[in-house]
Amino acid sequence: MNFIRKCRKALETLVYIANKDHRQYWIFKTIYFADKEHLKRYGRQIFEDNYRAMKQGPVPSLAYDIVKNVRGDGWFVFNNPSPKTALSVPDRYTILPLREPDVQLLSQTDIECLDYAYNQIKDLSFQQLKDLSHDGAYKAVDQDEEMTIESIINTLENSDEVMDYRGGD
């Protein structure tokens, strides 16, 4: 996936989830669990984001860079379209959509896994969600380090099949 398409898909993923829930923590964790579900079912991530093992759990790097751009405290510049026309980030805990998502950039399987993940976590408390996201992939690296796709795949019950499908990644 080329970088511009990846950025646009990440932005639309954020907008899609923000239309369901404004809590930043739940939005980022929805992306993480949706990626895991998409890997389990289809052998690929939604927009190929990398994850960092931050203090409160895995954080999708590109999605977080987009949010920081909207907040005005990030270095990442992406203007096709500008994230500031799609999202508002009034504080460090909230992401508000400014429009509906362009679902043409999301596949049906992307939407299926995003909805599945969100429905699994939407009613969890912060602590429950934190505990759930501190899985083997998170624990495999030190805080603030990048989590490997292999370690994420290894948390899946069909990890061997997914690794074979992906060519051993």
Tens digits of residue pLDDT in 123-160: 999 999 999 999 999 999 999 999 999 999 999 999 99
> What pLDDT does 134 receive?
97
Q: Which residues pair with 88 in a beta bridge?
A: 96
pLDDT at 9 (0 to 100): 96
Instruction: Return the residue matching tokens 């669990």.
Output: 33
Structure tokens at 42: 């289809």
Kindly list the distances between the CA atom of residue 5 and the CA atoms of 9, 29, 78, 142, in Å, as whole numbers in the listed order: 6, 22, 11, 30
Helices 3-18 & 61-71 angle (0-180, nearest 10)? 70
For residue 142, which of 72, 52, 35 has the smallest C-alpha distance?
52
CA pair distance 159, 169, nearest whole angstrom: 11
Question: Considering all CA atoms of the chain, what is the largest pairwise distance in Å, rounded to the nearest integer?
Answer: 43
Asked if residue 59 has pLDDT above 70, the reply is yes
The residue assigned the tokens 């270095």 is: 75
Please, which pLDDT band fits residue 168 given cuts at 50, 70 and 90?
Answer: low
Measured CA angle at 119 (ends 53, 126), to 5 deg: 45
